Amino acid sequence: MLPIVPVKPPNSRKRGRPPRICVPNSERALFTVDDRQFVGVIQRLSLTGGSAILAKGPIPRGTMGGMELKTVFGKVSAHVEFLQTGADGIPLAQAFRFLAMDDASAERFKAAAAQMVAEGFSDADSGGQAGQTFSKLLLSVRRLAATISSGR
């Protein structure tokens, strides 16, 4: 007899997930692992983490580190855990999740994220059909650029 697997309603993951923000202007962040610093170009952000193309190359999954990001509201400092590479379909992008942030950084980050969402840089449904189409086009262009720059 086959085991019964509960069926999840469609799009159940999207309802509980914070909007993902496609970060404009090739914003850079400073990452630190074992007292070594390197730059990463932020690709996506959400309230729980994001992805970046790291100058150092991939970091082993599960590695803990720090991140500093300048926003219009001030510097944001966070402790992060590096996750899988190939985030958002971009071979060179590495995902990370936020582990901890001080109160001031958390407020600055929330304000910056809210501003980017309001300006239409997120995958939230509030952008309407035109916003969704533009987001898909932008993601396709970024994937193509990452593939070309990786030498494939």
pLDDT band for 71, please (50, 70, 90 cuts).
Answer: very high
3-state secondary structure 65-110: EEEEEEECCEEEEEEEEEEEECHHHCCCEEEEEEEEECHHHHHHHH
Residue with more model confidence, 26 or 110:
110
| Cα 54 from Cα 138, distance rounded (Å) | 20
Which residue pairs, CB below 8 angstroms and at least 24 apart, start in 53-56? 53/90, 53/92, 53/93, 53/94, 53/146, 54/92, 54/94, 56/31
136 SS3 class: helix
Q: Which of 44-48, 130-134, 140-144 has the highest mean pLDDT?
A: 44-48
pTM value is 0.70
Query: What's the confidence (pLDDT) of residue 2?
Result: 46
Q: Where along the chain do its domains lie?
A: 17-149
- Contact call for residues 90 and 51 (beta carbons, < 8 A): yes
Burial readout 65-74 (b: 16 or more C-beta within 10 A, e: otherwise):
bbbebebebe
Q: To which CATH superfamily is domain 17-149 assigned?
A: predicted glycosyltransferase like domains (2.40.10.220)
